[in-house]
Amino acid sequence: MSTLTTSLNILAFLGLSPLFEAIIRKVSARVQARQGPPLVQPYLDLLKLLGRENIDSAGTWPFRLAPLIALASILTVVAVLPLAGRESAFTAQADTITLVYLLTLGGVSVLLGAFASRNPYALIGASREMITMILVEPVLAMVLLLGALKAGSLDLMSALYGAIRPGYGIAVVVMLAVYLLGLQAFVARQPFDIAEAEVEILGGPFIEYSGPNFALFKYYLMIKQMFYAYLPVAIFVPLPRSGFYGVDLLVQLALTGLVFILIGLLAATHPRFRIDQAIRYYAVLFVLAVLALGLSLSGF
Amino acid sequence: MKEQLQERLRHHCTAEGLTLDRADPRQWFVDGPRERVRDFAAAMVTEGARYVVSMGYDEIARNGTLGLVHSFAFDREGLFLHFRTNAPAADPSFESITPDIPNAGWSEREYMDLLGLKFSGHPKPKRLVLADDWPEGIYPLRKEVPHDLVPPAAEDVAYQLEQGPPGTTTIPIGPYHPCLHEPEHFAVYVDGETIKGCDYRGFMTHRGIEKLCTTAVSYNEVPYIAERICGICGTVHATAYSQAVERAAGIRIPRRAEFIRTMMLEIERIHSHLLWLGVAGHLIGFDTVFMQAWRVREQIMWLCERLTGNRKTYGMVQIGGVRRDVTPEIREDILGVIGQVEKELLVIRKAIQNDSSIHRRTKGVGTLSHEEAVRWSLVGPVARARGVDIDVRRDHPYAAYDEVRFEVPVFTGCDAWSTLQVRMIETFEAIRIIRQVLEKMPGGPILFEFQDPIAPGLHAMSAVEAPRGESTHYIITGENNRAERWRVRAPTYPNLQAVPLMLLDEQFADFPIIVGSIDPCFSCTDRVGVVNARSGGYSVMTRFELEALGRRKGESV
C-alpha cells in the first residue's frame, strides 16, 4: 500500500510538472497578448531533447553526472513527501533536515555541472546561483521549522501540516507573506531568474548542456518548481479531510495550479532584478522569516 | 549670435590664410593645407562646434592627392563647416585630431584601412573596418582597386583584442549573443560582476556599399541601395542621400514631396522607437513590454504595407521627390492608425512610468555625464538624455520640418531611463508631426524629373535626424552619372564609440540595457544591407495565405 503511495507521489510529480510549466507559459503569453504554446508543449520539449544527441562538451564525469544527481535528489524529495496528508513509504525515514539537505543537493549539482563545464557564462550563472542558494535556502528551512517547532518534532508530517494547528496566528500570516514574496525566488522565475538571465549569460549554468542531459535538468527544474508551488498549499491551506484521499489530493493539486497562475502573472509583470538588488531583497525576506519564527516561539 | 559666429569664422579663415567657400549659407567649405588640420579642429572645438565626421577620398587621377574632410556642426547657428585638405599620394600623412576630439578615432582608422592615409599621434591605430585577413597595402576605396576584388582568404589570422586590466576575467559578448541583434564582438573585462573595461571589434558585416555605389550604379539607383543600409531606418538613408545629391546639383523638389518625406520619416520614427522600447524591455528581462510594444507597432507595419506596398524598406524616396502620393483614402487610414497607436501607447507609457521595477533597472544605469556627451560628440536621444539640446530637424531643417511644430525633449538624467523617456516623448511628437503634415500638405506634383547632367566635383552634405540621432551623407558628384564619393555616417557610429565609457564600473547584468540604450544599429555603422533569405522552395501555402493566417491568429488574441 505504502509503496503504492510512493509511486503515486513520483508519478504525480513526473506527470504533472510539465503541465504546470505549460500553465506558466500560457499565462505569461496571455498577459503578453500572445496565444502561447499548447499545454502539451513542455512534454514535447522534453521528448525532443531526450531524442537529441548528448554533446559531452566538458568530457568529465562531474559534467555527465550532475543532471542525474539533480533529478535523483528532487525525486527523492518527492518520494518522502507526505502528499495530501498521507505518509509515503519513506516519509518516516526522513525529516525536515533531510528534505532541506536533498533540495540543497539538487542546487549543488547544478553548480557542479556549471563549474565542470568551464564556460564563462556558466561560471557567472553558478556564482549567482550560489549566492541565491545561500540566502534563500535558510528562508525555506525556517518556513518548514514553523510547523516543526509547534509540534516539537522535525518529522515531515508536522513540518508540512503542523503550522496551522490549532489555527492561524500572526506568525503563520507573516510566514505566508514571506513565502509568497519569495515564491519567484524559490522557483527561479522572473524577477529572480538571475542565474539563467538569457540576454546576459544565455542560460547560465545550463549553457553547455544539450540533448538528454539538458532534458534531465529541465525535468529537475520543473519538478522542483512544482514542489515549491505545492509546499504553501500543504503548509498554509487546511486539508479538506473529505474522507476520500483522491478528493483531498485533487483539491490540493488544483490549488497548486492556482499558485502556478500566480507565478505566471508575477513572471510576466516584472523585469529581472540584478543580483545586487536581489541580495537586498533576500535579506529582507530572511529577517521577516526570523521574525515569524520568533513570533511563533512567543506564542503568537 | 549667428552673425557674430560667422564673422569670427570668416576672420579666423582670413587670419590663417584659409580659403572659405560660402556659396551655400547652411554649409561652408574651408580649404587649407594639411599642416593646419589639428589647429583648425581644435579652434572649432573652442568655438563650440560639434565634430560630425571625417571623410577621405581619392583624387589621385585628378591631381595626385588623397583628400580629407573634417566636418563640424554649429547646431545653434544652423551651420555645417567642412575643412577640406589633401596630401600627396606618395606621403598621405596627416596629424591626428583624435587626441582633441575622441570621436574622430574611428573615422581616422577607417581611412587608414580604406585609403591608406596615415595619422600621426593617433592613440589606437588598429584595424577597424577591413577583415582581419585582408592583405596589407590594398586600399579598397582607392579608384585603382575594382569594386569586385576578392583577395585570397588567409588562414589563422585574428584580431588581437586588448589585454584586460589585471585581476579581471574576460567575458566574450558576440559575435553571436542574444543581446546583440547583429554580429559584433565586445570583450568585456569583469571583476566579479563589475565591468572594468571593454574592447570592441565590429564591422563584421562590412560589404562596401559606398564603393559599389560609386563604381557600379548611377545616381537614381542609389536611394534604394541606401535604404538597405539599415533594416529599421531605411527612409532616413534614402532621404539623406537624395538630399545630398539635390543640394549638390541645386535641385529644388516639389513642396508636396517634402511633406510626404517628412511623413514617412516620422512614421518610421514611431515604428523604430516602439521597436526599441520592446527590445529594451526584453533586455532587462521584461518580455511583456516587448510583446505589447511590438503588438502596437504591428499596426504601423501594416499601415506602411498599405501605404507603400512594404512593411519596411518603403522605396518611397528618390532624387527629385517621392514615388507614391498620399490619396484622401490613405490619409484617413493614416489618421486612424496613428490615433489608435497614440491611445494604446498612452496606456503603455502610464504602466512604465509607474513601474518601480523598471526604474530600478534603468535609473543610474549607463551613466555618462553631460560634459562627456559633448566631448564625445554624441547625437540623438543618447545626447538628449544627457542634456545636449540638439535635433537636426530643428537645428538644420530639411524636408518640411520648418513648417511643423514639435517639442525636442531634453532630459538630464544621463542614464538609460532618460533615453527611454526621450524616445517615449518623441514617439508622441512624431504622431503630432504626422497630423500637422496631413493637415498642411499642399497639392501639386510629387516629383521633379531632372534631365540635365550633374556637374562633377561638387561637394554637399545632408543630415537627417534618424530615430537614433543624426545621419549624415556627404557626396562629391562625379562623371558618368554617378557620385565620385559618398560617405554615410549613421548615428551609431559616434554613439557606439562612447559605449566603453558608459560601461565602465557598471554591473555586468546591465551590459545589455546599456548597449541597448544607444539603440545600436551595427549594420548601419558597417554600411551593409540586411540580407533576407530568399523565400520559395516547396510551400503548400502561398505567401498571402500564410500572412492572412498569421494575422487572423494575431487578431484573435
CB-CB: which of B179, B192, B291 is closest to A33? B291
Same domain, residue pair B354 and B452: yes
Residues ≥6 apart with Cβ < 8 Å to B290: A32, B278, B279, B281, B282
Is B549 a domain residue? no
From B522's Cα to the closest Cα of chain A, the distance in A is 18
CA distance B89 to B115: 10
Interface test mutation site (partner A, options B195, B277, B288, max chain A beta carbons within 10 A):
B288
A268 with B288: Cβ contact below 8 A: yes
Same domain, residue pair B304 and B426: yes
CB-CB: which of A33, A200, A269 is closest to B512? A200
B508 with A273: Cβ contact below 8 A: no
Distances (CA, A) of A150 to A158, A160, A207, A298, B184: 8, 11, 43, 11, 59
What local confidence, expressed as pLDDT, does residue B528 receive?
37
CA distance B290 to B300: 16
Q: Which residue of A has its CA nearest to B355?
A: A270
**A255-300, pLDDT tens digit by residue?**
999 999 999 999 888 888 888 888 899 999 999 999 888 888 887 7
CA distance B185 to B199: 8
CA dihedral B344, B350, B355, B359 (to 10 degrees): 100
Q: Which residue of A has its CA nearest to B192?
A: A124
Is B180 a domain residue? no
- DSSP letters of A72-112? HHHHHHHHH--BTTB--TTGGG-BHHHHHHHHHHHHHHHHH
**B61-111, pLDDT tens digit by residue?**
889 999 999 999 999 999 999 999 999 999 999 999 999 999 999 999 999
CB A70 within 8 A of CB A216: yes
Q: Which residue of B has its CA nearest to A193?
A: B285
From B351's Cα to the closest Cα of chain A, the distance in A is 10
Q: Crossing angle for the helix pair A96-117 and A120-151, nearest 10 degrees?
A: 180
Same domain, residue pair B225 and B129: no
- Residue A295, chain B, CB below 8 Å: the answer is no
Same domain, residue pair B51 and B121: yes
A199 with B283: Cβ contact below 8 A: yes
**From first to last of its 300 residues, what are the pLDDT tens digits of chain A?**
567 777 888 898 999 999 999 999 999 999 888 889 999 999 999 999 999 988 888 888 889 899 999 999 999 999 988 888 777 878 878 888 899 999 999 999 999 999 898 888 888 889 888 888 888 889 999 988 888 888 788 888 778 887 777 777 888 888 889 999 989 988 888 888 887 877 777 888 898 898 899 999 999 999 999 999 999 998 888 888 787 888 888 998 999 999 999 999 998 888 888 888 888 999 999 999 998 888 888 877
Supply φ then ψ for residue B31, to 5 degrees.
-110, 135
Q: Which domain holds residue B13?
A: 2-160
Residue B186: in which H helix or E strand, if any?
strand B185-191
B282 with A31: Cβ contact below 8 A: no
Same domain, residue pair B464 and B351: yes
Is B324 a domain residue? yes
- ipTM comes to 0.80
Query: Looking at beta carbons, which residues of chain B come within 8 Å of A31?
Result: 288
Output the nine-digit C-alpha cell for B7.
564673422
Write the single-letter amino acid at A296. S
CATH code where residue B145 lies: 3.30.460.80
Q: Which residue of A has its CA nearest to B293?
A: A32
What local confidence, expressed as pLDDT, does residue B554 receive?
58
Closest CA to B493 of B237, B238, B281, B222: B237
SS (H, E, C) B190-210: EECCEEEEEEEECCCCCCCHH
Query: Looking at beta carbons, which residues of chain B come within 8 Å of A124?
Result: 171, 193, 508
Interface test mutation site (partner B, options A118, A119, A274, max chain B beta carbons within 10 A):
A274
Same domain, residue pair B215 and B351: yes
Burial of A235 (0-12, 13-18, 19+ CB in 10 A): buried
Residue B30: in which H helix or E strand, if any?
strand B27-31
Residues ≥6 apart with Cβ < 8 Å to B243: B398, B399, B462, B464, B473
CA distance B372 to B386: 9
**B301-319, pLDDT tens digit by residue?**
999 999 998 888 898 999 9
**B345-370, pLDDT tens digit by residue?**
999 999 888 888 888 888 888 889 99
CB-CB: which of B357, B511, B556 is closest to A271? B357
Supply φ then ψ for residue B318, to 5 degrees.
-140, 170
CB-CB: which of A34, A120, A194 is closest to B171? A120
From B343's Cα to the closest Cα of chain A, the distance in A is 17
Same domain, residue pair B112 and B247: no
Four-residue CA torsion sign, A50, A56, A60, A62: negative
Q: How confident is the model at residue B533 (pLDDT cuts 50, 70, 90)?
A: very low
Q: Which residue of A has its CA nearest to B510?
A: A274
- Residue B3 pLDDT > 90: no
Query: Looking at beta carbons, which residues of chain A come within 8 Å of B361?
Result: 271-274
Interface test mutation site (partner B, options A199, A275, A280, max chain B beta carbons within 10 A):
A199
Same domain, residue pair B16 and B103: yes
Residues 171 through 190 of chain A touching chain B, CB cutoff 8 Å: 190
- Residue A269, chain B, CB below 8 Å: the answer is yes
CA distance A68 to A109: 9
Residue with cell 558628384: B477
Same domain, residue pair B317 and B377: yes
Q: How confident is the model at residue B165 (pLDDT cuts 50, 70, 90)?
A: confident
B377 phi-psi bin (left φ>0, alpha ψ -120 to 50, beta other): left
CB-CB: which of B179, B292, B557 is closest to A200? B179
- Residue B333 pLDDT > 90: yes
Q: How confident is the model at residue B460 (pLDDT cuts 50, 70, 90)?
A: very high
Is B501 a domain residue? yes
Is B544 a domain residue? no
B285 with A32: Cβ contact below 8 A: no
Distance of CA B71 to the CA centre of its chain: 15
Looking at B93, B128, B160, the residue that finishes a domain is B160
CA distance B120 to B197: 26
Distances (CA, A) of B457 to B62, B82, B84, B89: 10, 15, 13, 19
Looking at B100, B125, B160, the residue that finishes a domain is B160
Q: Are strands B317-318 and B79-88 parallel, antiparallel or unpaired?
A: unpaired
Write the single-letter amino acid at B89. A
Residue B484: in which H helix or E strand, if any?
strand B483-489
Mean pLDDT score of chain A:
87
Supply φ then ψ for residue B120, to 5 degrees.
-80, 135
From B357's Cα to the closest Cα of chain A, the distance in A is 7
B557 with A34: Cβ contact below 8 A: yes
CA distance B134 to B69: 25
A275 with B286: Cβ contact below 8 A: no
Distance of CA B32 to the CA centre of its chain: 28
Residue B320 gets which letter from DSSP?
T
Distances (CA, A) of B245 to B237, B282, B391, B401, B481: 12, 39, 22, 19, 11
CB B223 within 8 A of CB B317: yes
A199 with B170: Cβ contact below 8 A: no
Residues 70 through 99 of chain A touching chain B, CB cutoff 8 Å: none
Looking at B132, B160, B188, the residue that finishes a domain is B160
Residue B464: in which H helix or E strand, if any?
strand B459-466
CB-CB: which of A32, A198, A273 is closest to B178? A198
Between A and B, how many CB-CB pairs are < 8 A?
80
Output the nine-digit C-alpha cell for B357.
521595477
Q: Which residues of B have a CB under 8 Å from any CB of A?
A: 169-172, 177-179, 192-193, 281-292, 295, 357-358, 360-361, 507-512, 553, 556-557
Same domain, residue pair B141 and B232: no
What local confidence, expressed as pLDDT, does residue B535 receive?
42
Is B546 a domain residue? no
Distance of CA A97 to the CA centre of its chain: 16
Q: How confident is the model at residue B529 (pLDDT cuts 50, 70, 90)?
A: very low
Same domain, residue pair B347 and B233: yes
CATH code where residue B223 lies: 1.10.645.10
Same domain, residue pair B146 and B287: no
From B346's Cα to the closest Cα of chain A, the distance in A is 17
B193 with A198: Cβ contact below 8 A: no
Q: How confident is the model at residue B117 (pLDDT cuts 50, 70, 90)?
A: very high
Which of the two residues, B502 and B180, has the higher pLDDT score?
A: B502
Is B179 a domain residue? no
CA distance A173 to A160: 15
Is B419 a domain residue? yes
CB A218 within 8 A of CB A205: no
A199 with B512: Cβ contact below 8 A: yes
- What is the length of chain B? 557
A202 with B177: Cβ contact below 8 A: yes
Q: Which residue of B has its CA nearest to A33?
A: B557
Closest CA to B520 of B188, B262, B272, B193: B272
Q: Name the domain count of chain B.
A: 2
Output the nine-digit C-alpha cell for B69.
574632410
- What is the length of chain A? 300
